[in-house]
Structure 1
């Protein structure tokens, strides 16, 4: 489990992270989301001790990174794929890291196989594509077989097959009880991969909740509904304060005509109960939830950069 508590980081007069607190639980994939400049990478660097917090702190399974006796056996991190010397081969880089961390040399071949780089183990990193460097970075993070993974944009540069591979890997690691914290700008991918999301903007928490709960809270939730007495149904729904419009710009049917409507501000169960109460048959009742990307854009609007503008945090859901 990763616990971030009251974390702050100032660079001169710029506050990159401001009183940030959240938890990434074990056995879950937690998506770490925010606009460019929101403070995600800075936060991850502070969690693994690469940057010193101005105030507050972070712990992994109750221990600060700098206090760990064998950190690579506890935490694996992918933060900067450009940090590997271009003249080293993939295998040489991993063997150097393994030796420094007193890890068995057999782990090098194991992780190269896991990330699909066995065939290019003797190739110099400078000749690698961005996607191959990403795979090497993930291999480095997995080298100590850690219980906690921090991955900063792990699918950057990967083709669709590679993106699917990373998604499957993260889900399988979480299923083993490991903690996975991953940042990404691909909202569709996070919707399929993450159990929870932590959203920050200008260094401060905006949301810390499950993916499903965050999407439910989006203001774009709509329900498509249709039946043989659409006009009467529309009148009932409007009388109860719900927004109603014709679906796809089509005109609603007559008193007995079948038509489809789009209803806002109501849950599907609310509409079904009203239709039953007034004896109105329904042929269609389909919730149309906003996407994670829609909700992300809604709650982070205007929050790019480091200077904080107050915003209410959304929290909740299973922890």
Structure 2
């Protein structure tokens, strides 16, 4: 109850405004909705470069005129352009590179421009030029790069099959959204007798009173790690595991797109062999090639 001074100077009594009543379960549903909203913000790709043309012009790294993406501008590039235009060949991996005269489109004039530069003393292709990798300064065109060819990070092959200890873990970005009901941590140790001992931790829905995973964002209000009983891998499981670790595709530099946009993945997978860690995050300087991480995760899921 609140006291109020009325117009005639007398003291009156005014009832306080009633606060809204939350229905059962409504608070938890609201929390989950807020988490989902933040999750969308976490996973979104946020442009940090301005200009028209989206990422197509600003995030591509290429040599202009290098239609076939082999790292050199030569006769084969002009031929590749003509074959694409008139011979039914598939399109160039980087359209910006094939746009030799930087007109904003790929046509016969691009092949002519390339040949004039190579054999008739013509002007070199415009910025970034035919010799160095760089970005497109014409940000208003609609050309982009599905592949950056020789201007991209070098794909290396690594054999990690002869390991003593393999570990999987997940780390957060702005938030943390590991998948509930799936493997959250994993350790595989090779024993002195040659056997492999596996320890898995899954993420399950938390119960009231249990300590929840910090910074967790997801469809449930609480997630809790739970260790499964350790065991040894079978011969069949070992036969499926070793090829996954034998020919790993890895990059030792971040994806070029990370130079001009900020990416928050909300969940980063870390794969470690005897202290050598690689990530599934595009902007990591030590990252696994496309599809490698998922193949390992699928294998670990099959061990449950």
TM over 0.5: no
Q: Relative contact order (C-alpha < 8 Å, sep 6+): which is higher?
A: 1
- TM-score calculated relative to the size of structure 1: 0.22
Q: Which has the higher helix share?
A: 1
Given the two structures, how large is their TM-score scaled by the length of structure 2? Answer: 0.23
